[in-house]
Each structure stands twice: as C-alpha cells, then as structure tokens.
C-alpha cells in the first residue's frame, strides 16, 4: 500500500517551551508566564506556547495516517535540538521528506522507517522530524497489516505481542499539591514528578524539597485506598547539585537522607545534578549510583539531562550511570530508537522509563504507548500537558484499548488452534 500524498497541519502542543537556563538563573513567575529576558538562543520569551507540526500520510485507499513533530519543554538545553520552529520544519519537510515518502510502500513493515529517515547532507534529520514522521510511518505500516502499532513493533523486535500494562507516571506541574491529590485518587502507579526547578522549591540545603517528599507520602496515607503504594518519583532538574554542591558522595548522602524519611516507599530522584556535558554526567552519575547503593536500598537515580539520543542512552547504560534511564521520546527521535533504547536498558538490568514531555500532543502520546508496551518499559509518562487527568486519560485509555485488542486476538487464535 503506497503513500500517494503528504499532508501538513499546524498543531499545538499541550504545554509550553521553557528556557531552562533563564529559569535556573532565577526568572520570576508572573502568573503562568515568567518575567525577564530569555537566555537560550531561539527563545523570544522565557515561556512560549509549544507548537507542533502534524504530518499526514495519505494512502491508496484514501486513509490518512497522522504523526506529530514536536520538541520537549526545555528545548535547546543539555545537548538537545534547538527550539522547534514550525515554519522552518515545514520548509525542510517539503524539500527533503516529500520526495522520500511519495510512492513508499508502507506494507513493507517497520523497516521503512529507518530508510525514510536516512541522513541528509551527511547529518541526521531534525530530531522532531524523525519523531513525527516515524509515528506516521509506523502507524501506516500497522494499518496496512491490520494490526496495532504495538503488535507491529513487537514483531520487529522479535517478541510476542504485549499483554501486560506498563505502570503510569503522572506529573504535577506547578500545581504540586492539588495535583498530588488527583493522582492519589486516580491511583497513579508513579507520582508526582513535582517540577523541582527553582531554588525556592528546593529550599536551603534541600529542606523544602525533603519536606515536600514527606508531605506526598503522608498525603498518600491519608487519601489512598488500602494497599495503595505508588513509587515516589521527583525530577529535581539538577537542584541537588546547585543547592548543596556537585560532589557525588554529598549528593548520594542527601538522597539517602530523603529516602530514609520515606522508608516505606521506593524513591526515584531524576536529574540530581547537571555536570554540563555527557562525559562528565556519565562519570559523576556512575559515582552517585555507587554511593547510593552503599547507603540505602529504597532510592534510585534517574538519568535525563545529556541522555538524549540512543547513542547517549547506550553510553549511560554501559557505564551503569543510572538505576533508571528516561528514554525521552522526542529527544530520541525515531520511535524505533525508543524501542531499541528500552530493550537495551532492560537487558542490562536498568529501568527503562518511557518518558517524554508535557509539550507533546495527543497523537505523539498515543504512539508512544504502543512502543512502551511492545518493548516492555518499566514505566511510562502520562502525557501530554500538566493537568494529570488529561495525560492519564489519553495514555491510560490508549493502553487499555490496545491491550484489549491484542488479548482478543490472542484468545481467538488460541481457540482456533484448539
């Protein structure tokens, strides 16, 4: 089944693109916005509405299969691609991608993705382009075979179709108290992210953050149903390093002190420090992991910054520079690379968190569900947006429907075989 036309539509992400450097420098909140000038190239303000570009592949039967090109909230930071610019991406796609895609036979399967996204002028395509186009191509290949995207990727990986749900991780945004209540009532598997991205939220010597962790645990005890014991996961955006120093032993000591206060829970700490480049990040994270393992049994270190592409992720895995790797899907690009990364982490005995960003779209979020299921991720982000209910609904429902479809097919096949 061939592609006969390529469509484009302007789209909105579900949150904002934020200038991380400016926020770390102390830009003041002004309602939803931030005051002051941006610092990262490409930004015209510290906070800008996230934009996306939808690409639709029209097939011979007139079906149109969509994917969304979009970037992460903190674009241009920690080795990531620059800020997403809708007009520039559209121009690139018209010039480079349309000639590659017209006439392509999507019934060939997942392999068409790598071929269509080959280098241009000796360089990778923009990561956002890889991300959106791979969504559309893989979904079209699944459509041509009348199977789910999860089944297509499982076939490509050489594993059985997935039948078990992946735990959902909900993120609070700046509504760091009310949204925790929502997560508890919705029984999120992992919570709350917390958005600890400023000195105010971390507090002197980390006391404010430590107290917040205890508050979350207490709130679970107050509101949660009997037996409900979610994993506590907090993204601190490098603020342990910024707040108490970057010595790995000191960071591990601090993490252990927080973990001790919530001893009945598993505590995930994402991005405890930012060492400025991949080499330094890997070296120091490996040391933090080693020290944490010596100090306590309920804390884990999660890699995010400078762990962007499949190559980056493989380097972190090889050095055991994290207990859990965030496979940040818009930074990885090609969805097949997300699948490869999840499998690589899992086979190395490292947690594989299928992440992403609040700035994504419903289309990209749903596509990522299938990859996480097929590759057997440890957990996946309920995205897009920062509203909790929306992400849990979009990702949770897509997962439930996909698993129901797969199980029905397997039951039918088994009954025929009997």
Q: DSSP string spanning 133-169?
A: HHHHHHHHHHHHHTS-HHHHHHHHHT-PPP-SPPPEE
Q: Is residue 21 part of a domain?
A: yes
Q: Is residue 20 part of a domain?
A: yes
Check whether 104 has a pLDDT greater than 90.
Answer: yes
Torsion angles phi and psi, residue 144, rounded to 5? -65, -30
Q: For all residues of the chain together, what is the average pLDDT?
A: 95
The greatest distance separating any two alpha carbons of the chain, rounded to the nearest whole angstrom, comes to 69
> Which residue, of 96, 113, 146, is where some domain finishes?
146
Examine the domain organization and report whether 194 and 328 are in the same domain. yes
Burial of 413: CB neighbours in 10 Å, binned 0-12, 13-18, 19+: exposed
> Which residue, of 88, 113, 146, is where some domain finishes?
146
Check whether 417 has a pLDDT greater than 80.
Answer: no
Q: What is the pLDDT averaged over residues 238-267?
A: 97
Cβ neighbours of 314 (radius 10 Å): 17
344-355 pLDDT, tens digit per residue, is 999 999 999 999
Query: What's the rounded Cα separation, in Å, for the pair 65 and 106?
Result: 11
- C-alpha to C-alpha distances, 302 to 67, 196, 237, 409, nearest whole angstrom: 28, 14, 11, 36
Q: What is the pLDDT averaged over residues 138-152?
A: 98
Q: Is residue 301 part of a domain?
A: yes
Examine the domain organization and report whether 142 and 172 are in the same domain. no
Examine the domain organization and report whether 135 and 279 are in the same domain. no
Q: Is residue 158 part of a domain?
A: no
Query: Measuring CA to CA, which residue among 300, 294, 295 is closest to residue 322?
Result: 300
Check whether 211 has a pLDDT greater than 80.
Answer: yes
Query: Measuring CA to CA, which residue among 288, 355, 336, 357 is closest to residue 316?
Result: 288
Check whether 418 has a pLDDT greater than 70.
Answer: no
Q: Enumerate the known binding-site residues.
A: 171, 235, 270, 304, 326
301-350 pLDDT, tens digit per residue, is 999 999 999 999 999 999 999 999 999 999 999 999 999 999 999 999 99
Is 383 an annotated catalytic residue? no
Element (H, E) at 110: none
CATH code of the domain containing 248:
3.20.20.120
Check whether 141 has a pLDDT greater than 70.
Answer: yes
With vertex at residue 199, the alpha carbon angle to CA 194 and CA 201, rounded to the nearest 5 degrees, is 30
Check whether 81 has a pLDDT greater than 80.
Answer: no
Share of the chain above pLDDT 90, in %: 87
CATH code of the domain containing 68:
3.30.390.10
Cβ neighbours of 66 (radius 10 Å): 20
Q: Enumerate the known binding-site residues for Mg(2+).
A: 235, 270, 304
Share of the chain above pLDDT 70, in %: 99
pLDDT of residue 74: 80
Q: Enumerate the known binding-site residues for (2S,3S)-3-methyl-L-aspartate.
A: 171, 326
Q: What is the pLDDT averaged over residues 202-229?
A: 97
Examine the domain organization and report whether 139 and 220 are in the same domain. no
Query: Measuring CA to CA, which residue among 382, 332, 324, 391 is closest to residue 353?
Result: 324
Examine the domain organization and report whether 216 and 118 are in the same domain. no
Q: Is residue 160 part of a domain?
A: no
Examine the domain organization and report whether 30 and 135 are in the same domain. yes
- Set 51, 139, 328, 383: catalytic member: 328
- C-alpha to C-alpha distances, 22 to 35, 71, 364, nearest whole angstrom: 10, 18, 27
Q: Is residue 161 part of a domain?
A: no
Residue 20 banded pLDDT, cuts 50, 70, 90: confident
Check whether 216 has a pLDDT greater than 60.
Answer: yes
* SS3 (DSSP) at 3: strand
Residue linked to tokens 């991380």:
20
Examine the domain organization and report whether 346 and 386 are in the same domain. yes
Q: What is the DSSP letter of 265?
A: S
Q: What is the pLDDT averaged over residues 248-265?
A: 98
**Residue partners of 225: CB distance under 8 A and separation at least 6:** 187
> Which residue, of 90, 114, 146, is where some domain finishes?
146
**Strand 267-270 vs strand 231-235: parallel, antiparallel, or unpaired?**
parallel
Q: What is the pLDDT averaged over residues 30-44?
A: 91
Domains in the chain: how many in total? 2
**Residue partners of 200: CB distance under 8 A and separation at least 6:** 208
* SS3 (DSSP) at 327: strand
Q: How far is CA 171 from the centre of its chain?
A: 11
Examine the domain organization and report whether 282 and 208 are in the same domain. yes
Terminus-to-terminus CA distance in the chain, angstroms?
Answer: 33
Query: What's the rounded Cα separation, in Å, for the pair 43 and 50?
Result: 11
Q: Is residue 413 part of a domain?
A: no
Structural domain for 213, as ranges = 168-408
Residue 201 banded pLDDT, cuts 50, 70, 90: very high
Examine the domain organization and report whether 243 and 138 are in the same domain. no
Positive or negative: CA dihedral 140, 53, 402, 314: positive
Examine the domain organization and report whether 32 and 177 are in the same domain. no
Query: Measuring CA to CA, which residue among 322, 328, 343, 31 is closest to residue 159?
Result: 343
Examine the domain organization and report whether 205 and 173 are in the same domain. yes
Examine the domain organization and report whether 141 and 185 are in the same domain. no
The residues that bridge with 381 in the sheet, in sequence order, are 169
Residue 76 banded pLDDT, cuts 50, 70, 90: confident
Q: Is residue 152 part of a domain?
A: no
């Amino acid at each position: 089944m061939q592609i006969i036309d390529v469509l484009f539509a302007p789209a909105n992400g579900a949150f904002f693109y934020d200038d991380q450097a400016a926020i770390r420098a102390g830009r003041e909140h002004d309602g939803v916005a931030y005051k002051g000038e941006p610092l990262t190239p490409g930004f015209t303000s510290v906070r800008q509405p996230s934009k996306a570009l939808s690409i639709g592949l029209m097939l011979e039967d007139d079906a149109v299969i969509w994917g969304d090109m979009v970037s992460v909230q903190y674009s241009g930071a920690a080795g990531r691609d620059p800020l997403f610019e809708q007009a520039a991406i559209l121009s690139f796609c018209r010039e480079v991608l349309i000639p590659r895609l017209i006439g392509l036979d999507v019934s060939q399967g997942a392999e068409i993705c790598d071929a269509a996204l080959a280098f241009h002028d000796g360089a990778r395509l923009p990561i956002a382009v890889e991300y959106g186009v791979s969504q559309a191509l893989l979904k079209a290949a699944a459509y041509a075979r009348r199977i789910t995207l999860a089944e297509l990727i499982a076939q490509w990986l050489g594993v059985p179709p997935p039948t078990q749900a992946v735990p959902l991780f909900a993120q609070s945004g700046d509504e760091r108290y009310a949204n925790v209540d929502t997560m508890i009532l919705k029984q999120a598997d992992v919570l709350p992210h917390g958005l600890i991205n400023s000195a105010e939220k971390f507090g002197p010597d980390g006391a404010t953050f430590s107290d917040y962790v205890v508050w979350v645990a207490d709130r679970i005890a107050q509101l949660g149903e009997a037996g409900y014991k979610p994993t506590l996961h907090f993204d601190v955006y490098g603020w342990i390093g910024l707040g108490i120093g970057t010595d790995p032993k000191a960071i591990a000591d601090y993490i252990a002190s927080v973990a001790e206060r919530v001893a009945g829970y598993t505590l995930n700490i994402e991005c405890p420090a930012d060492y400025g480049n991949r080499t330094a990040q890997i070296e120091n994270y490996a040391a933090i992991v080693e020290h944490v393992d010596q100090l306590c049994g309920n804390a884990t270190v999660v890699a995010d910054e400078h762990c962007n592409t499949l190559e980056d992720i493989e380097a972190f895995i090889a050095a055991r520079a994290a207990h859990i790797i965030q496979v940040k899907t818009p930074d990885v690009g090609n969805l097949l690379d997300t699948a490869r990364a999840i499998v690589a982490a899992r086979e190395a005995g490292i947690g594989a968190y299928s992440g992403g960003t609040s700035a994504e779209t419903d289309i990209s979020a749903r596509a990522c569900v299938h990859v996480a299921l097929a590759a057997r991720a440890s957990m996946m982000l309920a995205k897009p947006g920062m509203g909790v209910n929306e992400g849990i609904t979009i990702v949770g429902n897509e997962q439930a429907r996909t698993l129901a479809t797969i199980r029905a097919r397997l039951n039918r096949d088994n009954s025929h075989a009997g």
